[in-house]
Amino acid sequence: MSSLNLDDFTDLIERPDGGVRRDAEARRERLIVPPGSLGRLDDLGEWLAAAQGSVPVRPVERPRVVLFAGDHGVAELGVSARPAGSAAELVREILAGGRPVAVLARRLDVPVRVVDMALDCAPDAFPADVVRHRVRRGSGRIDVEDALTPEEAEAAFRAGVAVADEEADSGTDLVVLGDVSVGGTTAAGVLVAALCGTDASVVTGRGGLAIDDLAWMRKCAAIRDALRRARPVLGDQLQLLAAVGGADLAAMTGFLLQCAVRKVPVVLDGVVAAACALVGQRIAFRAPDWWLAGHSSGEPGQAKALDRMALEPLLDQGVRVGEGAGALLALPLVRAAAALAAELPERTDEPGGEPVKDSMEDFT
């Protein structure tokens, strides 16, 4: 019998410090620029202060991109513009520095970590630090079979928890979370449709490479068929991930929840991260308070999931490439919010009052 009790996360996860947030709001009222003049940057700076438990907010100095990788058997149905089982090629390009996320990460001086959970390749195809959490080779075809066995689902979930602990212990102060998968958006669509009670057509998007109409119809049919398998297990989130998720999605869910336990803020990338966050919200309702939506990918499933969690994307640039690239674009915005909240001086004159003495010249 499994010793994993998902209900424990409800007790372990606390909301960001409300008292600190009120202190941050009070400090914001005293800054030299009027409240509201910085738009969402005000809210973002206050959220960061509450997450850090610090006023003024500390700079984001040790961010990291974490990407969970896996292949999905449902890709065999032609639901993706990429060939089934080809996620390993994307991982090689990321590690070689040739994908968009790698280019952006270099420019922003942010390390990228790739975690192989279920790539369809030999386990020795990548370095040990990439493959050491791998659960299996590819995930099952979710329209007709479970993605994972119960044991594999638990192992993947625990791996995500372990990766979150590793990041927190190493001093990572913010995570940009994404996926590297082929067929992953189909699995994500099933999770979102199941948890939001919608039909397949409502959540079926065209993926990063914009599949054509015939592929979209195949994808919609695959999500519809997988939904029939998902609905009977909606009450057990681990069983849901085993039935229609995959090793990478199960790991991302565990990772998100443990980041909330460890009070590490996370910026979500696309529909796969959003779907895992939605599962995480079902497990622990306070967990989304630790997450930001980095950008809008244009995927209807992502929009549905973010709306359910009341998360508003920071950016909307039409980035569909996945791999955490869109969310990484939001990192400078987060850093800017932290800098403004911490470094803008307070007013030297209180309205209707005497000047505030803040230098020796004021007393001479």
Task: Find out whether 181 and 274 touch, Cβ atoms under 8 Å.
Answer: no
Ordered DSSP codes for 73-125: GGGGGS-SSSPTT-HHHHHHHHHTT-SHHHHHHHHHT--EEEEEEE-SS-GGG
- Taking the C-alpha atoms of residue 120 and residue 135, their distance in angstroms, rounded to an integer, is 11
| Structure confidence at residue 359 as a pLDDT band (50, 70, 90) | very low
214-255 residue pLDDT tens: 999 999 999 999 999 999 999 999 999 999 999 999 999 999
Number of domains making up the chain: 2
Give the per-residue pLDDT at 347: 86
Q: Judge if pTM exceeds 0.85.
A: yes
State residue 335's pLDDT score: 97
Select from 103, 38, 104 the least CA-distant residue to 338: 38
Whether 167 is covered by a domain: the verdict is yes
The pLDDT score that the predictor gives to residue 334 is: 97
Residue 1 lies inside a defined structural domain of this protein = no
Catalytic positions, written as ranges: 323
Q: What is the pLDDT, as a whole number, of residue 329?
A: 97
pLDDT digits (tens, 9 = 90+) for 287-334: 999 999 999 999 999 999 999 999 999 999 989 888 999 999 999 999
Is the domain of 229 the same as that of 262? yes
User: Is the confidence at residue 119, as pLDDT, over 50?
Assistant: yes
Q: Indicate the SS3 state at residue 71.
A: strand
Question: Given a cut of 60, is residue 341 above it in pLDDT?
Answer: yes
Mean pLDDT of 24-37: 91
Q: In what order do the strands lie in the sheet with 291-293?
A: 112-118, 63-71, 174-182, 266-268, 291-293
Mean per-residue pLDDT, 112-136: 96
Q: Are residues 190 and 265 in the same domain?
A: yes
pLDDT at residue 354, rounded to an integer: 44
pLDDT of 360 higher than 50: no
Q: pLDDT band for 355, please (50, 70, 90 cuts).
A: very low
pLDDT band at 186 (very low <50, low <70, confident <90, very high): very high
- DSSP E strands, the chain: 63-71, 112-118, 174-182, 266-268, 291-293
Statement to judge: residues 358 and 280 lie in one domain: no
In a shared domain, residues 200 and 71: yes
Going by C-alpha positions, the residue among 272, 312, 275 that lies closest to residue 295 is 312
**Tell me, what's the pLDDT at 350?**
54
Average pLDDT score over residue span 271-289: 97
Residue 289 falls inside a structural domain: yes
What's the pLDDT at 206? 85
Q: Which of 105-114, 142-151, 345-354 has the lowest mean pLDDT?
A: 345-354
142 has a pLDDT exceeding 70: yes
Range of the domain at 173: 63-334
Say yes or no: 42 and 189 in one domain: no
Average pLDDT across the chain, whole number? 93
Q: Is residue 195 part of a domain?
A: yes
On whether residue 284 sits in a domain, the answer given is yes
d(CA 97, CA 348): 49
What are the two backbone dihedrals, phi and then psi, of residue 121, each rounded to the nearest 5 degrees? -155, 170
Tokens describing residue 359: 């230098």
Same domain, 224 and 350: no
With a cut of 80, say whether residue 169 has pLDDT above it.
yes
Q: Over 70: is that where the pLDDT of 363 sits?
A: no
Q: For position 39, which CATH number holds?
A: 1.10.1610.10
Residues 316 and 347 in one domain: no
Whether the predicted pLDDT of 351 surpasses 60? no
The predicted structure's pLDDT at residue 123: 87
Q: What angle is formed at CA 282 by the lines to CA 44 and CA 284, rounded to 5 degrees?
A: 65
Cα–Cα distance, 111 to 179 (Å, whole number): 15
- Same domain for 244 and 228: yes
Long-range contacts of 311-319 (CB under 8 A, 24+ apart): 311/268, 311/277, 314/40, 314/44, 314/267, 319/295
Other CB atoms within a 10 A radius of the CB of residue 185 amount to: 31
Structure confidence by residue, pLDDT tens digits, 250-275: 999 999 999 999 999 999 999 999 99
Indicate if 15 and 81 belong to the same structural domain: no
Residues 345 and 223 in one domain: no
Looking at the fold, whether 351 and 274 belong to one and the same domain comes out as no
Q: What is the pLDDT of residue 2?
A: 63
Residues 173 and 305 in one domain: yes
Sign of CA dihedral 298, 304, 307, 311: negative
3 within a domain of the structure (yes/no): no
CATH of the domain at 83: 3.40.50.10210
Q: Is residue 248 part of a domain?
A: yes
Q: Is the pLDDT of residue 153 over 60?
A: yes
